[in-house]
Amino acid sequence: MQADGALMRAETESEARLVSVLDTAVDGILVIDERARILVYNSACERLFGWTAEETLGQNVQMIMPSAYARAHDRYLDNYMSTGERKIIGIGREVHARHKDGTEFPVELSVGEAGTPQGRQFIGIIRDLRSRREAEQRVRELQSDLVHMARVSAMDEMGAALAHELNQPLTAIMLYLQAGARTLQKGRDAKSDETLASVMNKAVHEAERAGAIISRMRQFVEKREPNRRRVDLNAVVEEAVELTLVGIRDKVNAVRGYAPNLPQAFIEPVQIQQVVVNLLRNAAEALRGRPNPTVTIETRMTGDMLAVEVCDNGPGIPAESVPDLFKAFATTKRTGMGLGLSISRTIAQSHGGDLSVHPGGNGRGACFTLTLQPATADDA
């Protein structure tokens, strides 16, 4: 790279001064003529594109464009010169640039135009967007980590209930195996073989039940790249209901009302399950010690959106809590983090939907509605 940045052939003192000013700019600045030849190319451009000013001055600006743009550029410039139709001049937008080593990267390009005695010239100001893109990517990763952490923590809190639920099939398996062993001890005949087969089948069935509980849990806490798919919303919701009811089946009644023939949803199933799990756990916590504790889970279309509604017959939410309900760390629970609803709304909105509340109160329970867009034809 050249030390002086030699961005244009300075012939006068004022041009030399201009050169040194342009060289102090953080953004890439370049000027081209009507035939796309580079006339000015500052130091920032050298850093950005890897070419020296020496190598670029007088060359077609295509050399710093990805080949797809490069091919179109001359045509575009000709078109502009003859029709005045603007695609970028005076507008500015995000495009891709190409480094000397062939790598392509995002830049923000704004283009101005000047009339000079030598004809029209175009001034481009180029800002490197890589670090901004990296920061955005990092925020996305952190957000996804947080959402994942919340899932692990929810599962952690449900751990005792889950262990309890797992204990049931394990106990049953043990009893079936003991019965089998006793049958064998008595000596074998056609009848004992039949008993044995039946007992073994029952044990297998219980083992499958335990396996299903564990695999559902594992899927829920597993860390995966978020991957949206076309799915049947009812099936996704039912899995979440099953997962939450594990161990609290005897403490709340769950009433399901799933609309048949819903259009498919285009979602990350585990994240949507996370929302339903959060809503159900909140409902179950609000119902603790209440008479006839019941939560209803319904799916339906509202307008052109899919909706999942989770309502309970608990005390409802006091009016003064409603404004902060979806904010992080708003909790009335001794051990609550106050993250459930805030994360749930983030998930809903990142899916192009939303999460809203009818707070109830005065003898009516709370009702939460999650809306989601149905899958479109393009959602692969």
Ligand X SMILES: Nc1ncnc2c1ncn2[C@@H]1O[C@H](COP(=O)(O)OP(=O)(O)OP(=O)(O)O)[C@@H](O)[C@H]1O
Stretch that binds ligand X, among 24-32, 49-57, 140-148, 279-287 (CB under 6 A): 279-287
Stretch that binds Mg ion, among 58-66, 72-80, 229-237, 338-346 (CB under 5 A): 338-346
The answer to whether residue 283 forms part of the interface with ligand X (CB under 6 A) is yes
Chosen from ligand X, Mg ion, none, partner binding at 337 (C-beta under 5 to 8 Å by type): ligand X
Phi-psi region of 294 (alpha: psi -120 to 50; beta: other; left: phi over 0): beta
Tell me the residue nearest to ligand X as measured from the CB. 340
Number of residues that bind ligand X (CB under 6 A): 20
Q: How far is the CB of 55 from ligand X (least distance, A)?
A: 58
Chosen from Mg ion, ligand X, none, partner binding at 353 (C-beta under 5 to 8 Å by type): none
**Distance in Å from the first CA to the final CA of the chain:** 47
Site map for ligand X, 337-356, x if CB under 6 A?
xxxxxx--------------
The answer to whether residue 42 forms part of the interface with Mg ion (CB under 5 A) is no
Kind and range of the H or E element at 311? strand 305-312
d(CA 118, CA 115): 8
Closer by beta carbon to ligand X, 111 or else 275: 275
Chosen from Mg ion, ligand X, none, partner binding at 72 (C-beta under 5 to 8 Å by type): none
The SS3 assignment for 184 reads helix
The answer to whether residue 340 forms part of the interface with Mg ion (CB under 5 A) is yes
Closer by beta carbon to ligand X, 183 or else 344: 344
Task: Count CB neighbours of 58 within 10 A.
Answer: 11
The answer to whether residue 365 forms part of the interface with Mg ion (CB under 5 A) is no
Stretch that binds ligand X, among 36-44, 70-78, 264-272, 330-338 (CB under 6 A): 330-338
The footprint of Mg ion on residues 266-325 (CB under 5 A) is: 282
Q: Which of 321, 322, 253 is nearest to 287 (CA)?
A: 253
Closer by beta carbon to Mg ion, 282 or else 371: 282
The answer to whether residue 317 forms part of the interface with ligand X (CB under 6 A) is yes
The answer to whether residue 42 forms part of the interface with ligand X (CB under 6 A) is no
The SS3 assignment for 197 reads helix
Q: Which two tokens stand for residue 145?
A: 């980590």
d(CA 224, CA 144): 10
- Select the residue interacting with ligand X from 43, 282, 313, 346 (CB under 6 A): 282
Reported as half-sphere exposure (CB side, CA atoms, 13 A), residue 23 has a value of 17
Closer by beta carbon to ligand X, 31 or else 341: 341
The answer to whether residue 369 forms part of the interface with Mg ion (CB under 5 A) is no
The SS3 assignment for 63 reads helix
d(CA 2, CA 54): 8
The answer to whether residue 140 forms part of the interface with ligand X (CB under 6 A) is no
For 6, 15, 21, 84, the CA distances from 11, given in Å and listed in that order, are 12, 6, 15, 32
Stretch that binds ligand X, among 20-28, 159-167, 300-308, 325-333 (CB under 6 A): 325-333
Kind and range of the H or E element at 341? helix 340-350
Mark 123-141 as b/e (b = at least 16 C-beta within 10 Å).
bbbbbbbeeeeeeeeeeee
60: DSSP letter:
B
The answer to whether residue 294 forms part of the interface with ligand X (CB under 6 A) is no
The answer to whether residue 313 forms part of the interface with ligand X (CB under 6 A) is no
Tell me the residue nearest to Mg ion as measured from the CB. 340
Helix then strand then coil, % of the chain, to nearest 5: 45, 20, 30
Closer by beta carbon to ligand X, 92 or else 338: 338
Backbone CA torsion sign across 142, 355, 331, 319:
positive
Q: Which residues bind ligand X (CB under 6 A)?
A: 278, 282-283, 286, 312, 314, 317, 325, 330-333, 336-342, 366
Q: Which residues bind Mg ion (CB under 5 A)?
A: 282, 340
